Structure 1
Amino acid sequence: MSDEQGRFAIGVIGAGMGAKPHALALQSLADSINVLGVYRRNRTELDSFCAAYGFAAAESYQALLADPRLDAVLVLTPPNAREDIVAAAARAGKHVLLEKPVERSLAAAERIVASCDAADVKLGVIFQHRFRRASKFLAEAIAEDRFGRLEAVHLVVPWWRPQQGYYDQPGRGTVAQDGGGVLITQAIHSLDLMLSLCGEVSAVTAMARTTRLHQMETEDFVAAGLEFANGAVGAMMATTANFPGGPESLTLNFAEASATLTAGNLTIQTRAGDTISEGEASQGGSGADPMAFPFDWHAAQIAEFAEAVRQNREPQSSGHTALRVHRLIEALMGSSNQARRVRI
């Protein structure tokens, strides 16, 4: 596999609103990753997208899969279109990198992960917040146990999405297309990052509601208490009803320090009186424009996925790690719907 120059060869499926950072990332990786083709059902929009980014348009998904040079597909379709696409790639022996979420429900996500496992192909899931410089710095510090035991966690995702131009789009914020609201579409990034740093959540007590600021089928506000498997406790709030939108923040309280990630920036204050800062100036897509963030995090994750395939190892953000956040989201919604504490 791979192209004539030895570059990792990828095909892109889907080219809607969420494709822009991926396209910019793939342009920046052109020396090591070759986009063999892009496929979208709407030919006019496909041609426009390919002209904008200099990619070739594929005649069909089947034609892409039949190309012997193809290593993997990057799937950027809405969640409700994923299962058959991934199954076809797995049957063809092609690795898969999926935009989050894996699918709309935990059961469907588990089926996708199982199909890739059965075909022995790698499955990666885009959670680019893990690839921010500040996130990687904190992950390394935790792995090295620099600050002692984790005791408490506080996550806030105070974002804004307007009714006009966002929730008024057909299918947006519905169970049928998206699988849910703020949890599975927006806060899933921060929830995945939290789990990657703090470990599994063992139980939740949650309230999910739709505010009067939006007319939509699913939730735009969630608050919850969290119990972690390692004994830490936590609280989270996520919303798309916080005009004009603010940066997400994750605070971890350790025995010997407190660490706060605010969008792409990290501040650590130690009990010894030291302050450590790490990060970068950036927007995070917290306001009305959901694509208002850099593409370098996407580039880092795509490059890591290609490296994982070539080294025959699991990518850092895999289908199996993504199932953890799907289980958490299902528990949060279940707790709210049943008005009780739910164990995971």
Structure 2
Amino acid sequence: MTEDKFGIGVIGTGMAAAPHARALKELREVVDVRGVYSRNPDNRAAFAGNFGFPVAASVDALADDPLLKAVILITPPSERLELVRRFTEAGKHILMEKPVERTTAAAREIVAVCDQNGVRLGVVFQHRFRQASMALKERIDSGVLGAIGLVRISVPWWREQAYYDEPGRGTFARDGGGVLISQAIHTLDLMLSIAGPVAEVQAVAVTTPFHRMEAEDFVAGGMRFESGAAGALMATTAAYPGEAESITIDCEAASAHLQSGTLTVNWRDGRVETVGEAAGTGGGADPMAFPHDWHRDLIRDFAAAIKSGREPAVTGREALRVHHLIDALIESSRERRAVEITADSTD
């Protein structure tokens, strides 16, 4: 390893690890994968062999590696806290898959542990790194589209029952919930990063007859943003055969529609503007049917942030915002009332 390369480790070799591995291979000029670890020795050996990475004998071997600067945690959220403690105590920075943890309280604890040990915490919300997503955010932030009046969110995904037959999937004990925290969380985070904070929600969350699972597979609700804009969302994994998620933001000067990696802006003066290109998003039967480019750019940003001493693009503390939103949606459905997201519940 040369000194200009960023030493990184990988913990977890499940389904979500493949796009990270492909991204890391493309970043080999700037990133040095120091080792891959999972509890199953056969799985970690097969994964490391497939991608040409070294195998780590243990968590301690990675944590004690002086050339390792950070670790990517791709474990289920139920298996994060002790790993975060071990690596942060060793001074290693953390990049973790969403969600931060199963509950907001546990997510706050992870953020606090990283703060206490003086390390950076980044969260993998890769949809922010799509060209079309960045183009929409730039247009909103610049004011060229005018004030936001309406935000419409749709996540019409599909998952076979076999997906939920995997032990722990769709449970509160392992995943922390269903479609909101496991699938729609990406779209909700992207929405918050572009349209700003939500002040109040009123929702219905249920499990449809299409799935046998503990948590919800369908949520619909209304939102009131702090800006005064109105919003509506629908998220499900019961919409066969599954379609790409979308965000539509209606503004004073135009309506902007983001879907499948493409931004379409319909200006009120008749112009139509298109940015980006269509790409899979994992909305159908294959959850991993999407490119790894967004992971690559997110990991590159994380490594650059650590090297320069700045915060990564998506921090753990910022990720708490979507946890609070999900909490409010579930609480609203459970209590059959509108729920405010107060200043005390956002970070």
TM-score w.r.t. the length of structure 2 is: 0.97
Equivalent residue number for residue 70 of structure 1: 68
Query: 1:146 and 1:109 mapped to 2: Cα distance?
Result: 36
Query: 2:265 and 2:15 mapped to 1: Cα distance?
Result: 35
Q: Pick one of 5, 16, 19 that aligns with 2:17.
A: 19
Shift of 1:30: 0.4
Equivalent residue number for residue 104 of structure 1: 102
Deviation track 1:307-327 (CA, whole Å, cap 9, x = no partner) reads 111111111111011000000
After TM superposition, list the pairs within 5 Å mapping 1:1-344 onto structure 2: 3-164=1-162, 166-344=163-341
Shift of 1:5: 4.2
Give structure 1 regions of 4+ aligned residues with deviation exceeding 6 angstroms. Answer: none
Gaps (5+ residues) in structure 2? 342-347
Q: 2:154 touches 2:245 (CA, 8 Å); kept in 1? A: yes
What letter matches 1:52 in structure 2?
Answer: N
Q: Aligned with 1:68: secondary structure?
A: coil
How many residues are treated as equivalent by the alignment?
Answer: 341
What letter matches 2:206 in structure 1?
Answer: R
Deviation track 1:249-278 (CA, whole Å, cap 9, x = no partner) reads 100011111000012110001112211101
Give me the CA root mean square deviation.
0.7
Gaps (5+ residues) in structure 1? none
Deviation track 1:107-154 (CA, whole Å, cap 9, x = no partner) reads 000000111111111100000100000001111111211111111100
Query: 1:311 and 1:151 mapped to 2: Cα distance?
Result: 38
Q: 2:12 touches 2:36 (CA, 8 Å); kept in 1? A: yes
Query: 2:226 and 2:18 mapped to 1: Cα distance?
Result: 37
Q: Aligned with 1:183: secondary structure?
A: helix
Q: Aligned with 2:80: secondary structure?
A: helix
Shift of 1:4: 2.7
TM-score w.r.t. the length of structure 1 is: 0.98
Query: 2:281 and 2:170 mapped to 1: Cα distance?
Result: 20
Deviation track 1:13-33 (CA, whole Å, cap 9, x = no partner) reads 111111000000000100001
Q: Aligned with 1:17: secondary structure?
A: coil
What letter matches 2:289 in structure 1?
Answer: A
What letter matches 1:201 in structure 2?
Answer: V
What letter matches 2:143 in structure 1?
Answer: D
Deviation track 1:277-311 (CA, whole Å, cap 9, x = no partner) reads 01112111000110000000000000001111111
Q: 2:264 touches 2:272 (CA, 8 Å); kept in 1? A: yes
